[in-house]
Amino acid sequence: MRAYLLMIALTAVVTFVATHFVIKYTLKHKIYPEIRSRDSHSTPTPRLGGLGMFAGFLVAMAVAASLGWFKSVFVQGGPILGVLIAASIMAVLGALDDVYDLDWTLKLAGQFVAAGILSWQGVQIVSLPIGGITIGSFGMSFVVSVFLTVLIMNAVNFIDGLDGLVAGVVLIGTSTFFVYSYLLAQKTTPSNYFSLASLISAIVIGMCLGFLPHNWRPAKIFMGDSGALLLGLLMTTSALSVTGQLDPAFISQSNLMPAFLPMILPLAILVLPLLDFTLAVLRRLRAGKSPFAADRLHIHHRLQDFGHGHLGSVIVFYVWTLLISATCLLLFLAPSEYAIAFGSIGLVGALVYTAWPVIAKRLQKKESVN
């Protein structure tokens, strides 16, 4: 665990410092977009925060490669090379889009290229949660893995509309996934706790911790597509890598949860972003627009209109992400009845908090009548 804590701390410090220099450089050279009607900020703010996060990622990977702790992770060069190339493509492509506002088809094509390289180099689904059965062919695994990678990247990118929203949601979700992957490694390979999934998760946690102070309201910088797409890519990398850790002998009909969680957790953690992504695409296609055309009808915008305000809307996402991820983790750590009880109590609390603006107005009306 000390090795992972070191990677988290190192990545956080490098990301924080690198983002500080990105802020100074972009403000000095006025590299920031004009304020749009759908934006929640009122002063020009740079959108290249992802470059600071990418710097943290590169330094962390370089240091990890030099440490004996992670020797087993870097023995297989294919997945490492795939992650580095795919992450570089997303950071560069996202940064170009942040500055020049690229056509959505070009950006989507770049996402598929990055996801394809990642999967081709071995970061892909190895087994399905059906009695521990492995996927039948490389082609099927490749297609499913590429699809999931592009889906999660866009889901993360779509909710990047409020200060601290994406960094906080990814921090909560990835922290949960880190605990899961670390404990899974202890159970499946007790002689070696180090895995690519846990390493990438630790680095993502550090990236979010280092970036969030700059991005908390009022934000000095936004992560932009360079950051959101990078985080989505790395989250998927961790999830797909875990499936390769599962020993079919370890999985039985009475112990299927470890096989389910690598695919359930990322989707469950991102249930609100995925819902927002789906609704946005359907809404825009119905209106005859591009599925990536921007508007002010995302869930976080609707929460603001609902009465939550900026911070309240962000906390709604935090609460639901924490509830879903913690409940999924409990399914792995404890008897299912404990997870169900926790999830049920948490669900009531999350619903009350989400609906609180309406509840508060009705209570005020009753008091005024009385």
pLDDT tens track for 58-110: 999 999 999 888 888 898 888 999 999 999 999 999 999 999 888 889 999 99
Q: Which residues contact 104 (CB under 8 A, 6 or more apart)?
A: 290, 291, 292, 293
φ, ψ of residue 34 in degrees (nearest 5): -70, 155
Segment 1-56, tens digit of pLDDT = 889 999 999 999 999 999 999 999 999 988 877 765 555 556 778 889 999 999 99
The structure tokens 């920031």 sit at 32
CB of 267 within 8 A of CB of 284?
A: no
Return the pLDDT at 262. Answer: 57
| Structure-model confidence comparison of residues 369 and 349, the more confident one | 349
Handedness of CA 57, 172, 182, 264 (dihedral sign): negative
Q: Judge whether 206 and 9 are in contact, CB under 8 Å.
A: yes
123-145 per-position pLDDT tens digit: 887 655 444 455 556 788 888 88
152-164 in b/e form (b: 16+ CB < 10 A) is bbbbbbbbbbbbb
Assess whether pLDDT exceeds 80 at residue 304.
no
DSSP string, 79-134: HHHHHHHHHHHHHHHHHHHHHH---HHHHHHHHHHHHHHHHHTT-S--B-SSTTPB
Spatial neighbors of 352 by CB under 8 A, at least 6 apart, are 359
Residue 278 tokens read as: 């789906």
C-alpha span between 349 and 352 (Å, rounded): 5
Q: Is-contact 199 4, C-beta < 8 A?
A: yes
Tokens (6 digits) for 58: 């590169």
Per residue in 153-202, pLDDT (tens digit) is: 988 888 887 888 899 999 998 998 898 888 877 776 666 678 888 999 99
**Mean residue pLDDT across the chain:** 83
Query: What is the value of pTM for the model shown?
Result: 0.86
- Inform me whether the pLDDT recorded for 259 exceeds 70: no
Residue 25 pLDDT? 94
Examine the pLDDT at 300 and tell me if it is beyond 90. no
Is pLDDT at 248 greater than 50 in this prediction? Answer: no
Q: What does the alpha-carbon distance between residue 205 and residue 157 come to, in Å, rounded to a whole number?
A: 17
N-term to C-term CA, the chain? 58
Question: Is 280 exposed, middle or buried, given 0-12, 13-18 or 19+ CB atoms closer than 10 A?
Answer: buried
Q: Give the list of residues 6+ apart from residue 210 with CB closer than 8 angstroms, or none.
A: 11, 12, 13, 14, 15, 16, 17, 19, 52, 53, 56
- C-alpha distances in angstroms, 155 versus 22, 32, 277, 292, 305? 25, 24, 5, 11, 21
Structure tokens at 231: 């985080």
Reduce the DSSP state of residue 48 to 3 states and report it: coil
